[in-house]
Structure 1
Amino acid sequence: MNSSVTEFILFGLTQDPVKQKAVFGVFLIVYLATLLGNFLILVTIKTSKTLGSPMYFFLFYLSFSDACLSTTIAPRLIVGAITQKNTISYNECMTQVFAAHFFGCLEIFVLILMAFDRYIAICKPLRYTTIMSQHVCSVLMILSWVGSCIHSSAQIFLALRLPFCGSNVIDHYFCDFQPLLKLACMDTYVINLLLVSNSGAICTVSFIILLMSYVVILYSLRNHSAEGRRKALSTCTSHFIVVVLFFGPCIFIYTRPPTTFPIDKMVAVFYTIGTPLLNPLIYTLRNVEVKNSYRKIFKVFITWERKEEAEWEFLGNWNNVHPGIN
């Protein structure tokens, strides 16, 4: 890397002071809600005995990747909205590029695994427990982590080769590869082709695979009972909503020539901050088993709280009756 730039300035979503206050308030609430929603899913799946199927095993890692992806990007956007100069060092910028692509790619692979799980459950129900064993699910998740690491390593390898010797203002709210290409002091045509063939190909191919899997699933449902079709459609609809909300913006950003549009930053908000918030809502509101597990956890918490209150009340009454006994 031959660069005279040691730090970058993130332009953010807006430079209007009034709008910045709105950005701070809105995205602070969104980020906290994202952490709370995904944390509840993580705790519920880990503590519930009824959510031990492969679907919830993969949902656990989807929530984990959502929380990590949002944490990689949202805090700096929130802090930058109330500071006059939102700077990020070169090393921090490269780290953000790596982390954003790592957890974004992990989410893609987990969504594919969830679709595969639904395909086996609906199309090959008699072999489901054999195919989707705990060992197989663990191996698939390990491969997803390895694949995500390879993808993000390729991204950071290309980013580290970019020389920066002019402007250091990134017209974005986080460090991403395409905004960095605009600042590089070199011809970036070939590198952009590599970017499209890497990130763009992963997004597009994964989206096509997911669409094909849902088509096969819907076709196979014609032989199921009305109740079976309703339950399968409810689950698949949740997955499909997540897929569209996540892959649509990703494909728009990473599968085109090195040109920028005013809408790019708002589109990026959908898959970096919006989807991590919506995933817990979608899987909670449309999933009876998760909602029942939530209720059990809340009942246990309320019972424990009432027990604590009763013990403190008993101790208070005891001290009133026997003031000399400690």
Structure 2
Amino acid sequence: MADKLTNQNNNEYILEVKDLKKHFHVGKGIVKAVDGVTFSVKKGETLGLVGESGCGKSTTGRTIIQLYEPTGGEIIFKGNKIEKLKGKKLKQFNREMQMIFQDPYASLNPRMTVADIIGEGIDIHNLATGKERMERIYHLLETVGLNKEHANRFPHEFSGGQRQRIGIARALAVEPDFIIADEPISALDVSIQAQVVNLLQDLQKEKGLTYLFIAHDLSMVKHISDRIGVMYLGNLVELAESVELYESPLHPYTEALLSAIPLPDPKVERTRERIILEGDVPSPMNPPSGCRFRTRCPKAMPECAIETPKLKEIKPGHFVACHLYN
């Protein structure tokens, strides 16, 4: 079995993302999908990443795991700069960081059996062969709530929830330390979503996993995350511990997002003020000057159009990018 990547910095963060940028050339323009995002993830925690569709959260995840090549910035995993990894170390990184994809219908090869889908990573990293390989696949299926009889079936024979469990088993097959879960429950029925989230939490406790959990379901993100980052149009606008963010949001965009979460008590729902944002999300090909949220912000000031606010720590562990707190 290959050695694990060693943490050269010996600090508490397993992942550090510094000023990450990912731009796409579209025609004669440039889409700034991710434009200067900075955050860190502690070993063993779940960092939630939320925002409207198109804010760049999924692109952030895919760039971190190197499905997209970064346009700029640094990605540091266990103290190692990812862009400098080569040979055995790059292969080891590809084993230690895995991804669970959003669409359980598109992320599994329809021509491969479940055993081959889960076993592919085992084969690439030479983790087991023959009988030991199949026993490992059976164990992984049981770990995610399926059984070994499913190993010889094809993806079309399963429900959406079962397919996502297969995707989770595939990610676990190479014994990763860090998993990027890119909206893993958005394509599932509500009744199945809680089962998958509970499974992810159980696996985290059992195996000591670290998650970057990307989603737009704010109530589910609160349930699973230790800390939460809020993205808007390619920028990180707020970052705080889960309870702190929900009880004391600082950024006007975060306040608007949280006001849209349905509450179970209809009496409280009627008395709560809903913040309705005016206008549409600007194009990432031509974002507004200064603060990108200013064109929809009810608290916008003249300086918001001039200077881009930087992410600053306003309270211990609570960061926000907003001129209201300068």
TM-score by length of 1: 0.24
Report which of the two has the higher share of strand: 2
Q: Is the helix fraction higher in 1 or 2? A: 1
User: Bigger relative contact order, structure 1 or 2, given CA contacts below 8 A and separation 6+?
Assistant: 1
